[in-house]
Amino acid sequence: MTVQQQGTGASSDRATHWHSIDWAGCYREVRRLQARIVKATQEGRWGKVKALQWLLTHSFSGKALAVRRVTENQGRRTPGVDGITWSSPKSRLKAVLSLKRRGYRPRPLRRIYIPKADGKKMRPLGIPCMIDRAQQALYLLALEPVAESTADLNSYGFRSARSTADAIEQCFRVLNGADSAPWILEADIRSCFDEISHDWLIAHIPTDKAILRGWLKVGYLHNRVFHATEAGTPQGGIISPTLMNMTLDGLEALLRAKYRRGNHNLSKVNIVRYADDFIITGATQDVLVDEVRPMVEQFLVERGLLLSPEKTRITHIDDGFDFLGMNVRKYGSKLLIKPAKANVQRFLRKLREIVKASATLRHDELIRKLNPLLRGWANYHRHVVSKRIFAEVSHAVWQCLWRWARRRHPNKSAGWVRRKYFRSVGFRHWVFGTETGKTPGSGEKELLLLYDIAGTPIRRHRKIKMDANPFDPKWESYFEERLGLAMVDSLKGRKQLIRLWLDQARACPVCQQMITKSSGWRLYHMVRKVEGGKDTPGNLVMLHPECHQMARALRLPVAKPAPSMGL
């Protein structure tokens, strides 16, 4: 009996074990309700929206997916003020059955502070209890389809299937032309999360008002002292980014109504927003100073918000500006987008601190520690003009590692240090790497190398369509194609994994949801290696990390779905 078969029919309150839940059935039920919410929203039938949201938030499927989300994300081991985490399957199923509206009262948040990007100021985070996180995840399932259907077209932060790369590509589109706007209003909202008006949120967010009021007014504990909250939505809450986005939605429509006449936009006013950071372009400085900025300020005041005087400025495109870690600037008639200098320096500073603190680490341990950092930074910047900067960063990394190696062996010659820590691979020399055993006790060796950031290919990002809605069924094939291409790109050079992924219809056999670059994956042996199973394609299947954990816990074989015909 497979995992999929074992869970059939268990997506109701009759589920007797966490691993007996039919996750594929849960996803189908929730997606069906979300699609109906999208349709009702587009038709303006808000009574129908409210009724469908009630069905979703009271369904077993919605509750199960909400608990699954909060027990499988990065913060699953971080408790709230009650010190409780749901670490066992029994506690998770019990949590699903305990998610009820009647009698629910949120508990105060646990306040902690983390450093901001500049390293000087601290950012407050409010950590809810597990039950409150699950309730927020549940109501977010019902709110997000509405948020996506009513969102600004050029809002890219904290939204499904959108990224900073989409925002940067939109900047290129509105600023690249010879007749594009030369002036840019760089806007930053002061303490956006902390100052949003509670009255505005309760009056305008289409969700359960009593539940929302409870989350907003719950207060927080810091050093065992209770503090009331009169404004804002806590950073750290699952639903907070969506509430913030919905607060700022409508600004683009306001600007379009004033400055667009059909396809004509003589004042060249365009907005690109990522969360609470946004830029607005303009044909002249006067348009931005005398018309646009007062409109933006009035829009924000109604929501209890203000622009930050220190971070809000008007810039000419020839001088350039920094946005989302990139520098956007025109050199003559050519627009170039590069990694911002401050961003590069911050990255190198972080990397040097890690290397300095790793004086006693083994060679291979340091490589495994640095590779995710290097690969992540390179992938973030690989869609812009980064080749020269990648080479400069690669050289700076080499210098840092050479100093690390020489300090470890002060009495050895440079040649000895080079032979111990560096390798030649093809035409590349001085590659930081080492030979490691493939498996414990095996004589086979593999070469573990530091990620080659200078060799990262530069590829233009394919921007998402502005009106694409991941909860609308008519866009389903479009998003499947985008996710598929991203997955193939992440597996480039690993032909066996690509074939394995395609052979199982690109889906996880346990939950029937797509395996994507963002979801992650792990290989599962249908016949366990201790029972004679081999590392061959016929014995391997790709699962989501959480589904892999469930399949291992049940110790059941997983049947592959029917092969796909390709992308």
Q: What is the pLDDT of residue 565?
A: 40
pLDDT, residue 438, reads 53
Q: What is the pLDDT of residue 560?
A: 60
Per-residue pLDDT, 261? 87
How confident is the model at residue 559, as a pLDDT? 62
Backbone φ and ψ of 235, nearest 5°? -70, 125
Residue by residue, pLDDT tens for the chain (567 residues) are 344 444 334 445 557 788 889 888 999 999 999 999 999 999 999 999 999 999 999 999 999 999 999 998 888 888 999 999 998 999 999 999 999 999 999 999 998 888 876 666 788 888 999 999 999 999 999 999 999 999 999 999 999 889 999 999 999 999 999 899 999 999 999 989 999 999 999 999 999 999 999 999 999 998 888 989 999 888 888 999 999 999 999 999 999 999 998 888 999 999 999 999 999 999 999 999 999 999 999 999 999 999 998 899 999 999 999 999 999 999 999 999 999 999 999 999 999 999 999 999 999 999 999 999 999 999 999 999 999 999 999 999 999 999 999 999 999 999 999 999 999 988 888 999 998 865 444 456 778 999 999 999 999 999 999 999 999 999 999 998 888 888 888 887 777 888 888 888 888 888 888 888 888 888 888 777 666 667 777 778 888 888 888 787 766 556 665 554 444
Contacts of 4 (CB under 8 A, 6+ apart): 24, 509, 510, 512, 558, 559
DSSP E strands in 116-261: the ranges are 122-127, 183-188, 220-222, 225-227
Could you give the percent of the chain with pLDDT greater than 90? 65
Report the number of secondary-structure helices (H) and strands (E) in the chain.
21, 16
* pLDDT value of residue 385: 96
Give CA–CA dist 417/424, Å, rounded.
Answer: 14
Q: How far apart are CA 286 and CA 314, in angstroms?
A: 10
pLDDT at res. 366: 95
* Alpha carbons within 13 A on the beta-carbon side of 109: 25
Q: What is the pLDDT of residue 3?
A: 40
Could you tell me the pTM of the whole model?
A: 0.88
Q: Is 332 left (phi over 0), alpha (psi -120 to 50) or beta?
A: left
CA angle 416, 421, 422 (to 5 degrees): 95
